[in-house]
Every structure is written in structure tokens, then in C-alpha cells.
């Protein structure tokens, strides 16, 4: 899972409304709250278009400022340019600790990289179709499909999901645990989670059906999890 910053971290949530779905915004803002306070909330698009009708109620409910950008030329995305310009202005103002870029568009890849060069954290939010370069350019990338799954209430009697064989996941977990393990071969679960995000910015235990990283390790046949006074620890069998 993603490493969380302090609750007082000031974040800018910049939404490419032309390339994001309004239905995800409630869950998305809850996720943003894990990382800090959304001091700036802006959504960019051509608000004269009927294509953004579903967004209008969400803007009012969540106090998101709509930024109008007319589509002057067919085939050119003026919304992207407007968002990028605003992001750079906010970056140079120096009042924020991080940025949340909401889009599945690879056009924001360079923007994410530039923000990180200034020492600010970048959280990306998009669909699974998001191009890998943009995903990799963010410190943490969260797929909105995982947010939808996480909000689905499941009866307590339902058995936990079974972990299917996945070589990619196996290698990722092995590297993260090995890097965090002490002399006794036990690895602090928090440190493992941080390593996983560094190795793959889009790592999220919810992708494999587990709400928490601890649950994923408990279900994995190659690891044992133990709770200690100073936290949860994991060890390879």
C-alpha cells in the first residue's frame, strides 16, 4: 500500500475532467485524505459541453472549483495545457507539499516528473488503462477501480479471497521483504509497504482483492505474519 504523509500535508487535487469519471470522485477524495488535506481542488474541462454534465453535482458537493477551458481546435486538448500551467504556478508558489493528478492521460507524464524534481510528492489517480510512463512518473499511483472495490461492503461470513499464483507479485514481494529484513530475517510490514511503493508506484494490495497489505501476506503461502509490540512483521517461510 502507499506510504502516507502527515495529516497536515497540503495537497492540490487537479482533475482532468475530460479524462476522468465523476462517479469516482467521492471515493477518490477519501483516499486523498489519507495523504493530507486537499487545500486546492480544481477540475478542468469545457463546462459548456454536455459531456461534463455528470460532473456538475459533484463539483458543488465536494467544493471543487471548475476551471473553464474552451475547445478551440478539434483534436487538440486545451484542458491538458491549462492544468499543466496551473500546476506549475502552484508549484512555484511553494505553498504545497504535494499534488494529486487525476487523469488516465499520458500527457501529464512530464508534469509529474517535473513536480518530483522539485521535491514534491505526486499521487496519480486513473483507470487501469493509464499508460505506464505516467504511472511510473508518480510517487504513488492508485487505480480508481480499486477505490470502487474497497467501498463495496462484504458480509462478514464471506471467505477471504484466494491469492492466485502471480510471478510478478511474488518477485515484487520477495524484493521488498528482503530489503526490509533485519538480521533475524523478520521485516517490518510498514517498511515492506514503503519498499513496494518504491519498486512499483502502482502497487496496491486491493488489486489482488485484499484491503490491507497484511491480509495479502497472510494469504500468501510463502510468508508468515506475526504481530509484535512494535508492529506487524513478515518473514519468508
Tell me the sheet residues that pair with 10. 37
Q: Quick check: 91 pLDDT over 70?
A: yes
Q: Quick check: 3 pLDDT over 70?
A: no
Mean pLDDT score, 157-166: 69
A 10 A CB-CB count for 198 gives: 15
Tell me the sheet residues that pair with 188. 233
Q: What pLDDT shows up at residue 202?
A: 93
Mean pLDDT score, 189-194: 94
Helices marked H in the chain: 25-35, 53-61, 78-93, 109-117, 132-137, 144-150, 167-180, 189-199, 213-219
Instruction: Yes or no: say if 120 and 33 are a contact pair by the CB < 8 Å rule.
Output: no
Complete domains list, the chain, with CATH: 10-150 (3.40.50.1010), 167-236 (3.30.420.610)
Mean pLDDT score, 48-72: 88
Total count of residues recorded for the chain: 237
Q: How confident is the model at residue 75 (pLDDT cuts 50, 70, 90)?
A: very low
Q: Quick check: 158 pLDDT over 70?
A: no
pTM: 0.82
Q: How confident is the model at residue 93 (pLDDT cuts 50, 70, 90)?
A: very high
Instruction: Yes or no: say if 208 and 217 are a contact pair by the CB < 8 Å rule.
Output: no
Mean pLDDT score, 75-104: 88
Mean pLDDT score, 188-212: 93
What's the 3-state SS for 210-224?
CCCHHHHHHHCCCEE
Q: How confident is the model at residue 77 (pLDDT cuts 50, 70, 90)?
A: low
How does pLDDT run across 108-149, given as a tens digit for each residue?
999 999 999 999 999 999 999 999 999 999 999 999 999 976
Q: Quick check: 191 pLDDT over 70?
A: yes
Q: What pLDDT shows up at residue 203?
A: 94
Q: What pLDDT shows up at residue 150?
A: 54
Element (H, E) at 225: strand 223-228
Higher pLDDT, 72 or 221: 221
Amino acid at each position: 500500500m502507499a506510504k502516507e504523509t502527515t495529516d497536515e500535508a497540503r495537497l492540490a487535487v487537479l482533475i482532468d475532467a475530460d479524462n476522468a469519471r465523476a462517479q469516482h470522485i467521492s471515493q477518490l477524495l477519501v483516499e486523498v485524505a489519507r495523504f493530507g488535506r486537499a487545500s486546492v481542488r480544481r477540475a478542468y474541462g469545457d463546462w459548456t459541453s454536455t459531456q461534463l454534465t455528470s460532473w456538475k453535482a459533484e463539483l458543488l458537493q465536494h467544493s471543487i472549483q471548475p476551471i473553464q477551458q474552451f475547445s478551440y481546435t478539434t483534436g487538440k486538448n486545451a484542458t491538458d495545457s491549462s492544468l499543466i500551467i496551473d500546476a506549475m504556478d502552484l508549484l512555484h508558489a511553494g505553498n504545497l507539499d504535494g499534488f494529486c493528478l487525476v487523469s488516465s492521460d499520458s500527457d501529464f507524464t512530464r508534469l509529474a516528473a517535473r513536480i518530483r524534481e522539485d521535491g514534491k510528492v505526486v499521487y496519480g489517480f486513473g483507470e487501469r488503462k493509464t499508460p505506464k510512463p505516467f504511472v511510473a512518473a508518480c510517487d504513488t499511483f492508485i487505480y480508481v477501480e480499486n477505490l470502487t472495490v474497497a467501498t463495496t461492503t462484504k458480509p462478514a461470513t464471506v471467505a477471504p479471497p484466494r491469492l492466485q499464483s502471480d510471478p510478478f507479485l511474488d518477485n515484487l514481494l520477495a524484493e521488498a521483504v528482503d530489503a526490509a529484513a533485519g538480521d533475524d530475517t523478520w521485516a517490518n510490514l510498514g517498511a515492506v509497504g514503503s519498499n513496494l511503493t518504491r519498486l512499483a508506484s502502482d502497487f496496491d494490495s486491493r488489486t489482488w482483492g485484499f484491503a490491507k497489505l497484511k491480509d495479502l501476506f497472510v494469504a500468501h503461502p510463502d510468508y508468515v505474519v506475526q504481530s509484535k509490540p512494535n508492529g506487524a512483521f513478515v518473514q519468508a517461510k
